[in-house]
Amino acid sequence: MIYCDANATEPVRPESLAAVMDAMRTTGNPSSSHKAGRVARALLDQARRTVSKHMGGSVENCVFTSGGTEANVLAVRGIGQGRRILIGATEHDAVRRAPEEGARTGIIPVSENGIIDCEALETQLVSSSQATLVCVMLANNETGVINPIREISRLCRKAGAKLHVDAVQAAGRVPVDILALGADSIAVSGHKFGGPKGAGALLLADQAPVPLSPMLAGGGQERGRRGGTPALPAIMGMAAALDAALASPRDLSPLRDAIEMAALQSGAILSGTSAPRLANTTCLILPWMKGEAQLIALDLDGFCVSAGAACSSGKAASSHVLEAMGFGELSGHAIRVSLPWNVEADVAERFSAAYERMAARRRPI
């Protein structure tokens, strides 16, 4: 099996596994005052220092969550309370479905390369006097396209709007720094950079602290912003994975580019290639084959890729991301190949051969 679905989840890094095992042996609850509790609290504090150091935020404003979905929902519902919420057309469902019932929302269009249309955003920002929260992802999960967050932040500041950035696919792959990005909050998820599933974080900017109403009040953990005993092993694993990902960056773009060159020759259409992109991600459209059929054919040939909406590989939905980019009918004909941190160097050769076989077998005469 050759795993090419890193944007669904990255393989666990050995450093992360070791940290998880260590934390599993720690008995205490970080909220307990006795020695065992203090030991667990020290580990939790250490993980918080690591995550906030890498993301440019303060330790006080790093809220641990169960993952990217929860971090996004916490931000959108918390910062978005009473505000109009403008959401990028290519956002993940974790953000698209986050606003509370009855919230006033709007969609920010993207251009054909998948990047937020900044002119349209500017028009939307001045079209209402209501306070606004803008939600734009740093890197897209299906195409890898990277948005100009600093420019978007500038527009938001000018209009007095808040900016939430879903950095789930970007963290560990490209620099993510809440201050440098000019965001009010960013969401990250441990399993997207080689940590275990079940841990994420919401980082909040210091200069404009926003009182977050917790979705789960519970015992008031995380400074009252997220109740419930923190998942120490998953959080420790996330921090170790982030350290490891940033300590040993690997440029996967030559492998991605080789896959794209071969796919083009097999008749594929590429998406988002004129925009800055994550080096590990490509979205290939084969006009004569549904994405789901491609996924199955490649699976039978030993390759794990995804089709359509990324996190829900079980569904055969047409991609709302490609639709927003203007691909129309073809939006249901795409697969996403996302290379993991530990992919073998011969992946391009092997994948390209399988892709060519598949494309040729089904090509209409």
Positions touching ligand PLP (CB under 6 A) are: 67-69, 72, 92, 94, 137, 141, 166, 168-169, 189, 200, 310-311
- Is 238 within 8 Å of 51 (Cβ atoms)? yes
* In the complex, minimum distance from the CB of residue 44 to ligand PLP, in angstroms, rounded to a whole number: 19
C-alpha distance from residue 291 to each of 105, 310, 342, 355 (Å): 30, 11, 25, 12
Q: Which is nearer to ligand PLP, 142 or 292 (CB)?
A: 142
Q: Compare residues 37 and 148 and give the one whose CB is closer to ligand PLP.
A: 148
Return the number of the residue (94 or 186) whose C-beta is nearest ligand PLP: 94
For residue 62, indicate whether it is catalytic. Answer: no
Give 236 or 359: the residue with its C-beta nearer to ligand PLP. Answer: 236
Catalytic residue (one of 4, 283, 304, 311)? 311
Nearest CA to 358 out of 323, 307, 322, 319 is that of 307
Q: How far is the CB of 168 from ligand PLP (least distance, A)?
A: 4
Exposure of 269 by Cβ count < 10 A (0-12 exposed, 13-18 middle, 19+ buried)?
middle
DSSP string over 197-264: TT-EEEEE-SSS--PPPPS--TT-HHHHTS-S---HHHHHHHHHHHHHHHHS----HHHHHHHHHHHH
Dihedral class, residue 216 (left if φ above 0, else alpha if ψ from -120 to 50, else beta) = beta
Of 57 and 68, nearer to ligand PLP (C-beta) is 68
Smallest distance, ligand PLP to C-beta of residue 159, A: 25
User: Which residue shows structure tokens 């720690």?
Assistant: 26
Residue 169 vs 294, nearer CB to ligand PLP:
169
Burial of 70-92, coded b for 16+ CB within 10 Å and e otherwise, reads bbbbbbbbbbbbebbbbbbbbbb
Distance CA 187, CA 182 (A): 14
Residue 344 CB, nearest approach to ligand PLP (Å)? 23
Break the chain down into helix, strand, coil percent, rounded to 5.
Answer: 40, 15, 45
Q: How far is the CB of 87 from ligand PLP (least distance, A)?
A: 12
Q: In this structure, are residues 169 and 139 in contact, taking their beta carbons and an 8 Å threshold?
A: yes
Dihedral class, residue 171 (left if φ above 0, else alpha if ψ from -120 to 50, else beta): beta
Distance separating alpha carbons of residues 221 and 219, to the nearest angstrom? 6
Nearest CB to ligand PLP, comparing residues 171 and 359: 171
Measured at CB, which residue is nearest to ligand PLP? 68
* CB 153, CB 180: distance < 8 Å: no
CB of 189 to ligand PLP, least distance (A): 3
Across 121-210, where does the E strand assignment appear? Answer: 132-137, 162-166, 185-189, 200-204
Q: How far is the CB of 116 from ligand PLP (least distance, A)?
A: 14
Residue 86 DSSP class:
E
- Residue 23 forms beta bridges with which residues? none
Question: Which residues are the active-site residues?
Answer: 311
